[in-house]
């Protein structure tokens, strides 16, 4: 299944945001930290987790952060639904389970 152009742009943007999170100590310092965590089985790959988010709340992913607090990895997504509403979705990066969703 081919990605539609706007979905591909969204995935590229999400990856760029993930890498850009290097400024704050709670975020994965760079793509190498995220890659090592995936390889060690600490977290699920971003593509797998995106599928879980899409099934919970369809829309366009406009932001992604990968955080590690107290040894627990969490993906934080910003999603805009088809009505233009912005949602924040927190996902356990190890299990891929959606922890909570909040409209912003």
Tell me the residue range of the domain where 91 lies.
Answer: 5-103
Q: What is the pLDDT of residue 77?
A: 93
CATH number of the domain enclosing 33: 3.10.450.40
17 vs 34, residue with greater confidence:
34
Alpha-carbon distance of 25 to 51, in angstroms, equals 27
Per the structure, the count of domains in the chain is 1
Q: What is the average per-residue pLDDT within 9-24?
A: 47
């Amino acid at each position: 299944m081919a990605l539609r152009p706007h979905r591909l742009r969204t995935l590229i943007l999400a990856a760029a945001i993930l890498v850009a999170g290097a400024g704050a100590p709670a975020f994965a310092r760079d793509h190498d930290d995220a890659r090592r965590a995936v390889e060690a089985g600490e977290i699920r790959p971003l593509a797998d987790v995106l599928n879980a988010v899409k099934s919970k709340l369809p829309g366009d992913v406009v932001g992604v952060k990968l955080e590690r607090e107290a040894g627990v990895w969490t993906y934080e997504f910003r999603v805009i639904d088809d009505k233009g509403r912005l949602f924040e979705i927190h996902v356990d990066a190890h299990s891929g389970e959606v922890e909570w969703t909040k409209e912003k």
